Amino acid sequence: MIIGYARVSTAGQDLAGQIEELKNKGAQKIYSEKFTGTRVDRPVFKKVLKKLKKGDTLMVTKLDRFARNTVEDIQVVKKLFDKKIAVHILNIGIIEDTPTGRLIFNVFSAFAEFERDMILTRTQEGKMYARMHNPNFKEGRPKKYTVYQLDLAMKLLETDSYHEVEKKTGISVSTLCREHKRRLEAAELEKKP
């Protein structure tokens, strides 16, 4: 059986492209999860590894969906080869349990880890440069709503429901709930001596 595994790192990313590619390449059953690859404990991936049997093929779209680093890549592939499970990484090909196949896999794994490390390094350098040259630099996503907009929304919540305020302001119910909770907690802190 060909078992596909798809993974994205954040809840905002979409699995559909990977799942469609795996289906088109012959995956008969597909497991997916939204879980960062930097975490060791990926519950669905662990489940997939337990379900695979001799003669099965594990299929992923790219090497970086597979493991966090070269050492983990090699360990997982070795365990799969020991169980006589084939590995098919769509952007590389079928990894064969031969000296040449293992060498090619190890080289690609090392390059994938190098690429991840370089992305992290460039990101950190960019943040450091931004902090040095922009005193107003704040890490993370910029705020979507101004303090005035949130103040207005909180005022409307005194008489309207969350859904009504969402319709009037365009601010989602989840954002309204978070902001309302944040303000209640801030008010509680101010009361404490």
- Residues in CB range of 157: below 8 A, 6 or more apart: 165, 176, 180
Tokens of 182: 């944040």
- Rounded to whole angstroms, how far apart are CA atoms 62 and 91? 6
Q: Which candidate in 9, 32, 109, 161 is catalytic?
A: 9
Beta bridge partners of 94: 88
Active site residue 174: no
d(CA 15, CA 74) in angstroms, rounded, equals 25
Q: How far, in Å, CA of 193 to CA of 184, rounded? A: 17
Which sequence positions are flagged as catalytic?
A: 9
